[in-house]
Amino acid sequence: MIIVIANTKGGVAKTTMAVHMAAVLGAQHRTLLVDADPQGSALSWAEEIEKFPAVAVGRARSRGLARDLRSLATDFDYVVVDTPGSRESGIAGQAVSAADLVLVPIAPTAADFADMPKTIELIDDAAVAAPPRILAVLTRVRPGTRSRSDARAALIEHGVEVATTELPLRESIAGAYGGPLAEPALWEALIQEIIRFEVAA
């Protein structure tokens, strides 16, 4: 299963999501983390974690990326792909074209929602046949706030499925880069939801 984490807007926790999901999946399944972002943050982070439970590689190029991902996937149960926050390089589109599932992390802010149509357009344009399934994941959430409930309602209204699991606005998550994994129970809950989501497809 190829899970691509994509959003044309930067700073929405794509890398944080990719590294944590690969680590949690890797504890029980053969899992590959592919860093397709030229910044290389996911790969650097994975290499800093002692005994990272997934294999981590860099593939920050657009040419042949979709083919590479499909080939790599034959040796793993899960492939988690981190992508850059832009569609200009073509990398994100190549990754999405190979995806079984696209996770779209999005914070409940006006700026994030203004960019959402660009991400949906990227996914639609990259689809070789039928578009992959899309699941939005709310990040940097303040529980009980109106922005959270409004964001969820707006996504659903626009036909985007939204994960029940949300990533709260916590320093442990926001400041996790380069250090040990944060809030593993949250990521485990998200992964279980993704598995149920795909089984129901």
Q: What is the pLDDT along the chain (201 residues), one digit of tens a residue?
A: 999 999 988 888 899 999 999 999 999 999 999 999 999 999 999 999 989 999 999 988 878 999 999 999 999 999 999 999 876 668 999 999 999 999 999 988 888 888 888 888 888 888 766 678 899 999 988 877 888 888 888 888 888 899 999 988 877 777 777 777 888 888 999 999 988 877 666
Residue type (1 letter), 28: Q
From residue 46, give the alpha-carbon distance in Å to each of 18, 162, 185: 10, 27, 19
3-state secondary structure of 126: helix
**117, two tokens:** 């149509």
Please give the pLDDT value at position 110.
83
Which pair of tokens denotes residue 68?
């590479």
Residue 87: the pLDDT is 66
pLDDT of residue 129: 66
The answer to whether the beta carbons of residues 49 and 95 sit under 8 Å apart is no
Please list the alpha-helical segments (H only) found in the chain: 14-26, 41-48, 65-73, 91-97, 110-126, 146-157, 171-174, 184-199
Could you give the number of structural domains in the chain?
Answer: 1
- The per-residue pLDDT for 144 is 79
**Alpha carbon distances (Å) from 28 to 12, 63, 78, 188, 197:** 27, 32, 11, 11, 19
What does the alpha-carbon distance between residue 24 and residue 27 come to, in Å, rounded to a whole number? 5
pLDDT at 168: 84
| Residue 61 neighbours by CB under 8 Å, 6+ apart | 36, 91
| Closest of 74, 92, 71, 77 to residue 14, by C-alpha | 92
The whole domain housing 52 covers 2-199
For residue 58, what is the domain's CATH number?
Answer: 3.40.50.300
- ∠ CA 53-27-57, rounded to 5°: 35
180 sits in which H/E element: none
The two tokens of residue 195 are 């598995």
Tokens of 112: 């994030």
